[in-house]
Each structure stands twice: as C-alpha cells, then as structure tokens.
Amino acid sequence: MTAHTSTRTHTVIESPVGPLTLVAADGRLCGLYMTDQRHRPPEETFGPRDDAEPLFARTAEQLTAYFAGELTTFRLPLALEGTPFRRRVWAALQDIPYGETLSYGQLADRLGQPGASRAVGLANGRNPVGIVVPCHRVVGATGSLTGYGGGLDRKRQLLALERGGVPAAVAGPPTVQEGIF
C-alpha cells in the first residue's frame, strides 16, 4: 500500500521519551515519530488529526504497558512502506528479543547478506515505526550506541528500560496532546 492509495490520520500522545506522533493508514500503524526525529516526514503527509481512531487507543495502551515494563512484544497491525530490502530489515528487527541487542553486522548476517551492514544501518535509520519496530536494539560492532533517529539519549533510555531500568521521564500513561497540530 502506498501513501497515494491509503487514507492517513494521526494523533500525538505523550510518552516517557517525549511526544510521539502516531500515523495510521487504513487502520494500520504506518508511523511512530519522535520530536526532532531524523528522517521524520513532513507533517502534511500525516493526514488529518483523528484522536478517535481505535488503533491509536490500542497503540497508546500497548506503549503504556511497554514503558511500565509489562509488554515485550507489540501486537499491532502495521503498514510499513519501503523498499523490499528495508521491509526485510524491519521484519528482522522485530525478531530481536526484548532487552537484547545485535550489531548492524549481525543483523546483516541474519539477512544472509554479511557485507551489507551499512545498508542495514541505513534501512534501520529509515524505520517509520520506532519503538514498536525496535531499531533501538541495534548497536555498533563493539556494542557502542551508534546512531538513532530519535537521538542517542532516547536510545539509551529505551535500552535501559528493557534491561530493567526506568526511562528518565516516566510521568504516567501516554495521553493525547491537545493543540500540537
């Protein structure tokens, strides 16, 4: 499904890692973007605001459980738009267990393309549904925190949460924000 044949809507929720913009296409999550995220699409592509979209309530509930350390795998319908290679990378990201990390090279190996760690990194950076599709679980070859579209501080927070810590700004469940758009 492409942006030209789908009906998109969005909302904004609060989370422990800041406001998250959720975008749906025909009832499936196609975007989860953080403030100041690298490769964030223009807001006009998100469609009209629709705080009543049932998918957004389900997503907020699951994010609440995730940030509380009670959910390790998201169960949401996704509409991930990208090249076949990017979609393969994003599918492989979903196989990285909660609380664990892989290097870009290890992920490339899993895809059967051991020389493609740079391409894996580029696809990882274009993940349109961060957190739900856990691109934060990919690290440098030495285990170092390298690149994250939402910023290294957020990556650090998410990994700490998954390893039994609590994100710095836990302020309760995500809620719809008024007046953002």
The catalytic site residues sit at: 135
What beta strand segments (E) does the chain contain? 8-13, 20-25, 28-34, 102-103, 138-139
Using CB atoms within 10 Å of the CB of residue 163, give its burial: 0 to 12 exposed, 13 to 18 middle, 19+ buried. Answer: exposed
Its sign, for the CA torsion 14, 177, 151, 91, is positive
Angle between helices 84-93 and 117-125 (to 10 degrees): 80
Question: Would you give the distance in Å from CA 128 to the centre of its chain?
Answer: 6
In terms of phi and psi (left: phi > 0; alpha: psi -120 to 50; beta: otherwise), the region of 97 is beta
Two tokens, residue 52: 């009543």
SS3 12: strand
